[in-house]
Chains A and B, each alone.
Chain A
Amino acid sequence: MNLRFQATKARTSSLVLVSPALVLLGLLFFYPILLLFFTTLEGENIGNYAQVVNSGTSMQVFLNTLRIAAIVTVVDLVLAYPLAIYISRLSPAGKAIALFLVLIPLWTSQLVRTYAWMVLLGRQGPINNMLIWLGVIDAPIRLANSEFAVVAGMTHILLPYMLLPIYNSVSKIDNSLFDAARGLGAGAFSTFTRVLVPLSIQGVLAGVSLVLVLSLGVFIMPALLGGGRVPVIALLIEQQAGSFLNWAMAGTLSAILMVIVMITFLIIKFATRMFVRGRIDVAST
């Protein structure tokens, strides 16, 4: 009783604390979105939406965007999970250094990193030179201006968003649980699937939703590393707004993208709820 009362009080007072942020968010974020939404309906009513849905190319681009986002998310997950486990086992000093290295990309401009990838993947770039030197290929191959380049660049940029939440939940797991599992007869695989995954699933799903959502809207990478060969929705929006000055269509595409992002987010939220159903505060062991 008393506890619940305190909880309510705490909630009210924290609401007061975040209210300036809420006002700012409302003015600078929700208001423009609302404006944008009204633009899409101007004159045409829902005609713009019908046009997008009926246009084969637009739908193709949406699917392509989802596909690339899925690939990037899966690759990041496969890279980040073992890395997070590895970092969580390091000494305190090792952890600090490793996390610092992980964070460096976040402090570097996305543009700078994209140009770095263009250099790396260029015809005269180090990767091509290396492959030629190793005798894998005879002449430089096209690495940049391809979907491969876009996926590689996005994977790199978004890796910390996958790694940090996973690391956070993995490092909270009591190490004696792994000993207990091993001692009770679980092999490496069972220990992973029966102990590690269930106890870090919240971090994994948080990382997945972050990377998935962020990769749906990435613009710079497809623009600079895709060389016009990798159609994604962000490029289409830029084209409508920048080249054709068709603000209504750009807004329509944005609104659809936003709905897709929200649906993705809700699905993952729901999955999280399912995985931890009934579990008592799994994250804080």
Chain B
Amino acid sequence: MPDLRNTSALKLESIRKTFGRVDALTSINLEVNAGEFLTILGPSGSGKTTLLRLIAGFVTPDSGRLAIFGKDMTMASAGKREIGMVFQHYALFPHLTVLENVMFPLEMRKHSRRDAADKASAALAAVRLDAFGDRYPKQLSGGQQQRVALARAVVFEPKLLLLDEPFSALDRRLRESMQREVKQLQASLNLTTIFITHDQEEALVMSDRIAVIDRGTIQQLGTPNEIYYHPRSITVAQFIGESNILEGTETPEGLRTSSGMLLRRASPSTSGRVLVRPEAIRITREPATGGATNQFKGKIASRTFVGGFTIYQVDVYGGDTLTVRCLADEGSMFEASQEVNLSIREADCRPVPQDAKDAGA
């Protein structure tokens, strides 16, 4: 882990950007540490690409300040920022060979042709494409083009690496191997990286920290653990992972939902909402003994088998429908309309603060 009080590689202060009447970004504050892998996660249209293009210098903010390693770059042109970027559709030059593509940023920096070719070959070797230097981008598969784009983005030793949903066009298996590859490259170069995705699993897997963005604002910034277990708003909770969100009134014993379920919690709260992750609910045939204080009886409404685990929808008697996720076990699966017992530990009933917009309403 990089020292958090060390240099900040990127600092954004009160960045605003509007397109006509669309507020693409409203007051973005963000500090990225040197060597950090930060993911910007958000739904479609939330402003992720706009933010990344603004960092890269293709978009200038309406107001606010942007500094890279302490140097103000708010108005600097893209070429002056020394940022490597991997575009969503790779943006490889179709008229140049793979090697020439990777040499391009070096030639723009007046490296000699020899030197550029040597460095580019080394960068291609790092992404295991040294044998493909003479091909044209069209002659490569999607994953290979992606790796060329990656080599081109890092070959000139940029200060920051930006990736805009780089794996969205790849199939699952390829995506996972590319995730590993990018992570390894980033770690070996100790390169500060800002990564965009709308895939929450990808964000959790890859990041040192995640910034969840919605409607042009950063909703929460934190480590994957913090974001997953301590979401600061309903939006974040619902966006990351599966969630059961129960609302009700606070009583001295715990939260009582409008349907009558009582949820005891480890620490008191006044938020009126509780988040229970589906994998935190234990599902058993017999009532559980000891441990959990929150126990409910219910009936299986539906079952979905997803390979490694099974997802049940359970109608709690006189209560809500809960989503439960447990490891798949071929021998002991529950059938639809079977009666089951659910138990939830107090610590797994996590309070969720009201969203800012809800609090105002």
A binds B: yes
Chain B nearest Cβ from A148, distance in angstroms:
39
Contact indicator A185/B91 (Cβ below 8 Å): no
- Asked if B139 lies at the interface with its beta carbon under 8 angstroms from chain A, I say yes
Contact indicator B156/A185 (Cβ below 8 Å): yes
- Asked if A138 lies at the interface with its beta carbon under 8 angstroms from chain B, I say no
Complex interface bits, A262-281 against B, C-beta within 8 A gives 1, otherwise 0: 00000000000000000111
- Asked if A27 lies at the interface with its beta carbon under 8 angstroms from chain B, I say no
- Asked if A179 lies at the interface with its beta carbon under 8 angstroms from chain B, I say yes
A179's nearest neighbour on chain B, judged by CB, is: B58
Chain A interface residue number, banded: 20 to 34
Contact indicator A282/B78 (Cβ below 8 Å): no
Contact indicator B89/A176 (Cβ below 8 Å): yes
Contact indicator A184/B108 (Cβ below 8 Å): yes
Residues of A181-220 contacting chain B, CB below 8 A: 181-187, 190, 194-195, 198-199
Contact indicator B83/A280 (Cβ below 8 Å): no
CB contacts (< 8 Å) of B92 on chain A: these are 180
Given A176-B87, A180-B87, A279-B95, A185–B138 Cβ distance below 8 Å?
Answer: no
Give A194 to B56 CA distance when docked, in angstroms: 21
Contact indicator A183/B109 (Cβ below 8 Å): no
- Asked if A139 lies at the interface with its beta carbon under 8 angstroms from chain B, I say no
Residue from A177, A181, A184, A280 having most chain B Cβ neighbours under 10 A: A184
Give A282 to B137 CA distance when docked, in angstroms: 11
Residues of B125-155 contacting chain A, CB below 8 A: 136, 138-139, 152
B89's nearest neighbour on chain A, judged by CB, is: A176
- Asked if B105 lies at the interface with its beta carbon under 8 angstroms from chain A, I say yes
Chain A nearest Cβ from B113, distance in angstroms:
14
Contact indicator B78/A183 (Cβ below 8 Å): yes
Contact indicator A182/B58 (Cβ below 8 Å): yes
Give A195 to B53 CA distance when docked, in angstroms: 20
Contact indicator A177/B79 (Cβ below 8 Å): no
A199's nearest neighbour on chain B, judged by CB, is: B95
Residues of B66-108 contacting chain A, CB below 8 A: 77-79, 83-85, 87, 89, 91-95, 104-105, 108
Complex interface bits, A147-186 against B, C-beta within 8 A gives 1, otherwise 0: 0000000000000000000000000001011011111111
- Asked if A54 lies at the interface with its beta carbon under 8 angstroms from chain B, I say no
CB contacts (< 8 Å) of B78 on chain A: these are 179, 182-183
Contact indicator A198/B95 (Cβ below 8 Å): yes
Contact indicator A183/B136 (Cβ below 8 Å): no
- Asked if B57 lies at the interface with its beta carbon under 8 angstroms from chain A, I say yes
Task: Find B57's partner among A183, A199, A279 (CB 8 Å cutoff).
Answer: A183
A282's nearest neighbour on chain B, judged by CB, is: B95
Given A183-B56, A280-B138, A190–B91 Cβ distance below 8 Å?
Answer: no
Chain A nearest Cβ from B83, distance in angstroms:
6
B110's nearest neighbour on chain A, judged by CB, is: A185
- Asked if A2 lies at the interface with its beta carbon under 8 angstroms from chain B, I say no
Residue from B83, B95, B138 having most chain A Cβ neighbours under 10 A: B95
- Asked if A285 lies at the interface with its beta carbon under 8 angstroms from chain B, I say yes
B138's nearest neighbour on chain A, judged by CB, is: A280
Contact indicator A184/B105 (Cβ below 8 Å): yes
CB contacts (< 8 Å) of A280 on chain B: these are 94, 136, 138-139
Chain B nearest Cβ from A63, distance in angstroms:
36
How many B residues have CB within 8 A of the partner chain?
Answer: 26
Contact indicator B108/A174 (Cβ below 8 Å): no
Task: Find B77's partner among A182, A190, A199, A282 (CB 8 Å cutoff).
Answer: A182
CB contacts (< 8 Å) of A174 on chain B: these are 89, 91
Give A11 to B93 CA distance when docked, in angstroms: 31
Residues of B29-46 contacting chain A, CB below 8 A: none
A197's nearest neighbour on chain B, judged by CB, is: B95
B83's nearest neighbour on chain A, judged by CB, is: A183
Task: Find A279's partner among B58, B87, B136 (CB 8 Å cutoff).
Answer: B136
Contact indicator A183/B79 (Cβ below 8 Å): yes
CB contacts (< 8 Å) of A181 on chain B: these are 93, 104
Give A176 to B93 CA distance when docked, in angstroms: 10
Chain B nearest Cβ from A226, distance in angstroms:
42
Given A199-B95, A280-B138, A185–B89 Cβ distance below 8 Å?
Answer: no
B137's nearest neighbour on chain A, judged by CB, is: A280
CB contacts (< 8 Å) of A184 on chain B: these are 79, 104-105, 108, 152, 156
Given A199-B95, A279-B95, A282-B95, A187–B79 Cβ distance below 8 Å?
Answer: yes
CB contacts (< 8 Å) of B53 on chain A: these are 179
CB contacts (< 8 Å) of A176 on chain B: these are 87, 89, 91
Given A185-B109, A187-B79, A279-B136, A179–B87 Cβ distance below 8 Å?
Answer: yes
Task: Find A185's partner among B87, B93, B105, B139 (CB 8 Å cutoff).
Answer: B105
CB contacts (< 8 Å) of B104 on chain A: these are 181, 184, 186, 194
Q: Which 3 A-B pairs have the closest CB atoms?
A: A185-B108, A184-B105, A180-B91
* B residues in contact (CB < 8 Å) with A: 53, 56-58, 77-79, 83-85, 87, 89, 91-95, 104-105, 108-109, 136, 138-139, 152, 156
Since A177-B91, A179-B91, A182-B57 are in contact, a sample of 16 more A-B pairs with Cβ atoms closer than 8 Å, ordered by chain A residue number, is A174-B89, A179-B56, A179-B87, A180-B87, A180-B92, A181-B93, A183-B78, A183-B83, A184-B104, A184-B156, A185-B156, A186-B104, A187-B79, A198-B95, A280-B139, A285-B94
